[in-house]
């Protein structure tokens, strides 16, 4: 787990050292640069790397790794590298390290771009061919590791985080059209970022930059098989296969030359992961959880303790009363832009706690996404069964009902269900985002609101492409895999952990397991309103009834309370007079939201958090820091 940077064909000086310093949190163990001058047939290249040493801690595993005309910078882990290594050794390849980096490099030499079909892991890497002056880069299928780039007349630049490209000397500006998407969804989309000059390589895509070209060729090499025919097997066979695949995924992720642990919330997913870790490790598993002081609605530590006792883990628990104001700026900085998901706060806190004891942590991320764990998945499916005239009437009536003081209340959930059910299937799927998509006209100029809606619809259509013949539930899962998972959940997981130099691994997002889960029949995903039915069946022996039957809490923070109490003045200081965001949004709307929040008439916590991160980012952009 590391940070990478590269500059190809730069026609101006590039401050690689400053770029690497800006992402030093991703790799505190080693820092190095390879510079190769240009020749008539190829451009110059500068490749930089900061290392968080996980496998082969010796210099043999250091990067940038240069070997027989190829140079690689690689962020991530290839979990099945020993299998690929053995295949390459049979072909006569000699290795000088035990690292997966060298296996990836030699795999590319042997198989070219087709090596991507042989990889199980999380990765973002770039390989430079010294002979041809050709750059090849790729990102893992789910999008666990980031890759940003800028293709410009003065060179091609790439990095693990946008700030490294900026630190190297590239000036950026606000992408006003993309800002509308951030305000609507809470996160970005496609290959766009909040920085107009910088793009993101999408998950499951690769990139080729040929010598003499400034524009890379982008190709999609992976699609999760949601549109494939459902698997034909009995429920018992499916449960056995699910258990077999997840157990194998966990075992692959236990390989490291540094201490490992796990996040433990006491939910179904993290409990299963910890149970499998306990089964396959000799030492007691180190587990970590946090709770919030004075607010039991956001405290899962009781359930985490129950799971910890069940598997006899070495459990560390932290009950916090976080000074959220102190965490806002570091989180905005590490995300390089506004980010609506406030659960980045507890995710960062638990990562900080975990890193004090271990270097790698396994998580339950992805379990809800591939095994159908969210209420909104079922709501979208049920909506399809209601005749459209009734849906329209229900939406009209529900729209007149006030939201109420909390988004978690029954009234708010019922209102959201009926309001969204009146929309088309495609529009409905984005409507569960708790931000401004439904009220953009009240926040931004009409032109930007209209443009944003067109952009979001196109984003949704792209996510659903090829699934037209699938069931509504399958389409919802495919949509979520292409949108929320890579642009929210995995962004949060990567940035919040790497801010503290912690590697997190997600067994549920194993490529083989995703391929299996994507093709499950709906009846195995849920039985009535019982979500994740097959997963709970497969691991019934590891899940006590109290954990299986507990209500889902989510990993959130009590924003509504904080914005009325401890964060009230901080919020007003940032969203008051002189705030930069009023260049883009209407102050009257923001003032009304804060009044309603104070009075307990509505829960605007998620929306106000997003606006707060936007303001902090705009101040940073203006200062040039």
pLDDT of residue 388: 64
Q: How far apart are CA 204 and CA 141, in angstroms?
A: 4
Tokens of residue 580, six digits: 């930069």
pLDDT of residue 292: 77
Q: Is residue 427 part of a domain?
A: yes
Average pLDDT over residues 478-490: 97
Tokens of residue 447, six digits: 């032109």
Q: How confident is the model at residue 548 (pLDDT cuts 50, 70, 90)?
A: confident
Residue 549 has pLDDT above 90, yes or no: no
Tokens of residue 100, six digits: 């997966």
Q: Of the candidates 472, 494, 515, which is a domain's last residue?
A: 472
pLDDT of residue 377: 78
Let me know whether 315 and 443 are in one domain: no
pLDDT of residue 187: 97
Let me know whether 109 and 14 are in one domain: yes
Query: Using a CB cutoff of 8 Å and minimum separation of 24, what contacts does 59-66 make?
Result: 60/96, 60/97, 60/98, 60/99, 61/97, 61/98, 61/99, 61/101, 61/102, 62/30, 62/32, 63/2, 63/32, 63/101, 64/32, 64/33, 64/34, 65/99, 65/101, 65/102, 65/105, 66/34
DSSP structure string for 471-490: -HHHHHHHHHHHTHIIIIIH
Q: How confident is the model at residue 565 (pLDDT cuts 50, 70, 90)?
A: confident
Let me know whether 514 and 615 are in one domain: no
Let me know whether 512 and 440 are in one domain: no
pLDDT of residue 139: 98
Count of structural domains, the chain: 4
Let me know whether 332 and 364 are in one domain: yes
Q: Of the candidates 503, 520, 548, which is a domain's last residue?
A: 548
Per the model's pLDDT, the better-predicted residue between 20 and 301 turns out to be 20
Q: How far apart are CA 185 and CA 571, in angstroms?
A: 21
pLDDT of residue 410: 52
Average pLDDT, the chain: 91
Average pLDDT over residues 269-284: 96
pLDDT digits (tens, 9 = 90+) for 325-351: 788 899 999 999 999 999 999 999 999
Q: Which CATH number covers residue 129?
A: 3.60.20.10
Kindly report which listed range (130-139, 186-195, 385-394, 561-570) carries the lowest average pLDDT score.
385-394
Let me know whether 99 and 153 are in one domain: yes
Let me know whether 587 and 615 are in one domain: yes
Q: Is residue 213 part of a domain?
A: yes
Average pLDDT over residues 191-197: 97
Q: How far apart are CA 204 and CA 161, in angstroms?
A: 18
Q: Is residue 317 part of a domain?
A: yes
Q: What's the maximum distance between 2 C-alpha atoms anywhere in the chain?
A: 72
Per the model's pLDDT, the better-predicted residue between 263 and 382 turns out to be 263
Nearest to 298 by CA among 500, 560, 508, 489: 560
pLDDT of residue 297: 66
pLDDT digits (tens, 9 = 90+) for 16-38: 999 999 999 999 999 999 999 99
For residue 610, what are the domain limits? 559-623
Q: Is residue 553 part of a domain?
A: no
Let me know whether 64 and 178 are in one domain: yes
Tokens of residue 282, six digits: 């000799």
Q: Of the candidates 196, 220, 244, which is a domain's last residue?
A: 220
Residues paired with residue 158 on neighbouring β-strands, in sequence order: 6, 149
What percent of the chain has a predicted confidence (pLDDT) above 90? 77
Q: Is residue 141 part of a domain?
A: yes
């Amino acid at each position: 787990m590391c940070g990478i940077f590269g500059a190809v064909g730069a026609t101006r000086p590039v401050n690689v050292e400053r770029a690497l310093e800006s992402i030093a949190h991703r790799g505190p163990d080693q820092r190095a640069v390879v510079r190769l001058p240009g020749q008539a047939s190829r451009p110059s290249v500068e490749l930089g790397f900061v290392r968080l040493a996980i496998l082969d801690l010796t210099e043999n595993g250091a990067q940038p790794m240069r070997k027989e005309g190829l140079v690689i910078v690689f962020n991530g882990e290839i979990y099945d590298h020993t299998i690929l290594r053995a295949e390459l050794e049979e072909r006569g390849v000699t290795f000088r390290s035990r690292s997966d980096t060298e296996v990836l490099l030699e795999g590319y030499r042997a198989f070219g771009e087709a090596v991507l079909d042989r990889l199980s892991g999380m990765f973002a890497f770039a390989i430079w061919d010294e002979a041809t002056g050709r750059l090849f880069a790729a990102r893992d299928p789910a999008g666990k590791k980031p890759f940003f780039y800028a293709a410009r007349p003065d060179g091609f630049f790439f990095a693990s985080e946008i700030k490294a490209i900026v630190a190297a000397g590239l000036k950026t500006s606000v992408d006003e059209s993309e800002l509308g998407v951030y305000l609507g969804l809470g996160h970005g989309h496609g290959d766009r970022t909040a920085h107009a000059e910088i793009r993101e390589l999408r998950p499951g895509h690769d990139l080729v930059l040929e010598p003499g070209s400034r524009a890379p060729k982008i190709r999609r090499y992976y699609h999760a098989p949601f549109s494939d025919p459902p698997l034909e097997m009995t429920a018992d066979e499916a449960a056995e296969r699910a258990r077999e695949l997840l157990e194998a995924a966990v075992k692959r992720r236990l390989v490291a030359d540094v201490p490992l642990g796990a996040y433990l919330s006491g939910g179904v997913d993290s409990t299963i992961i910890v149970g499998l870790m306990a089964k396959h490790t000799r030492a007691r598993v180190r587990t970590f959880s946090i709770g919030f002081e004075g607010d039991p609605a956001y405290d899962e530590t009781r359930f985490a303790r129950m799971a910890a006792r069940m598997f006899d883990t070495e459990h560390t628990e932290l009950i916090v009363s976080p000074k959220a104001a102190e965490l806002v700026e570091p989180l905005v900085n590490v995300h390089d832009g506004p980010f609506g998901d406030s659960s980045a706060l507890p995710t960062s806190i638990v990562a900080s706690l975990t890193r004090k004891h271990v270097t790698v942590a396994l998580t339950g991320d992805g379990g809800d996404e591939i095994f159908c764990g969210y209420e909104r998945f079922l709501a979208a499916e049920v909506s399809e069964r209601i005749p459209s005239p009734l849906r329209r009437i229900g939406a009209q009536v529900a729209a007149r009902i006030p939201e109420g003081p909390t988004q978690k209340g029954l009234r708010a959930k019922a209102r959201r269900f009926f309001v969204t059910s009146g929309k088309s299937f495609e529009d409905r799927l984005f409507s569960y985002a708790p931000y401004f998509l439904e009220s953009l006209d009240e926040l931004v100029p009409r032109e930007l609101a209209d443009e944003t809606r067109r952009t979001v619809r196109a984003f949704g259509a792209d996510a659903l492409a090829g699934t037209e013949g699938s069931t509504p539930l399958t389409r919802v899962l495919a949509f979520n895999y292409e949108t929320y998972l890579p642009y929210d959940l995995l962004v949060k997981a990567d940035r919040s952990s790497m801010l503290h130099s912690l590697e997190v691994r997600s067994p549920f997002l194993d490529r083989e397991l995703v391929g299996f889960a994507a093709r499950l029949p709906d009846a195995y995903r849920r039985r009535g309103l019982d979500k994740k039915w097959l997963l709970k069946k497969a691991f019934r022996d590891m899940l006590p009834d109290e954990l299986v039957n507990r209500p889902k809490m989510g990993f959130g923070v009590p924003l509504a309370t904080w914005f009325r109490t401890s964060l009230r003045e901080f919020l007003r200081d940032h969203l008051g007079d002189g705030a930069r965001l009023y260049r883009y949004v209407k102050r009257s709307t923001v003032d009304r939201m804060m009044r309603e929040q104070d009075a307990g008439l509505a829960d605007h916590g998620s929306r106000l958090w997003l606006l707060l991160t936007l303001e902090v980012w705009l101040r940073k952009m203006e200062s040039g820091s």
